[in-house]
Amino acid sequence: QVQLVESGGALVQPGGSLRLSCAASGSIFSIYAMGWHRQAPGKQRELVAVIISGGITNYADSVKGRFTISRDNAKNTVYLQMSGLKPEDTAVYYCNADLTLRGSGVLHNYWGQGTQVTVSS
């Protein structure tokens, strides 16, 4: 019923910038929160950034000052603007959302398929 589709992953040089997007579609009533997680090979998946309805945001310490999360509510889309990219940012980035479906007031959690970000010279 619901899909999260990420786009924007690419190979970029250290110090470069990249913008990821994630569009949610389906029988959505409302979106409570959307965020980004990432997972590097051999490492545990970690929260990168989250934005909650009302505009409250939170970031991992490792990306503060470099990444910015935002939402376009009209398009059910979340963005992650990344700048000053470092090799350690290399990972698969996953979109995540907590939302309610039409006809239900219960929150459900959905994940996107992931998009690869590689930072290397």
pLDDT in tens, 31-90: 999 999 999 999 999 999 999 988 999 999 999 999 999 999 999 999 999 999 999 999
* Percentage of residues in the chain having pLDDT higher than 90: 96
Q: Quick check: 105 pLDDT over 90? A: no
What is the average pLDDT across 103-121? Answer: 95
What is the average pLDDT across 94-100? Answer: 97
Mean pLDDT, the chain, as a whole number? 96
Both tokens assigned to 96: 């995540």
Q: List CB contacts of 118: < 8 A, sequence separation 6 or more.
A: 10, 11, 12, 90
pLDDT at 104: 86
What is the average pLDDT across 92-116? Answer: 96
Q: Quick check: 1 pLDDT over 90? A: no
Tokens 């090979």 sit on residue: 41
pLDDT at 110: 97
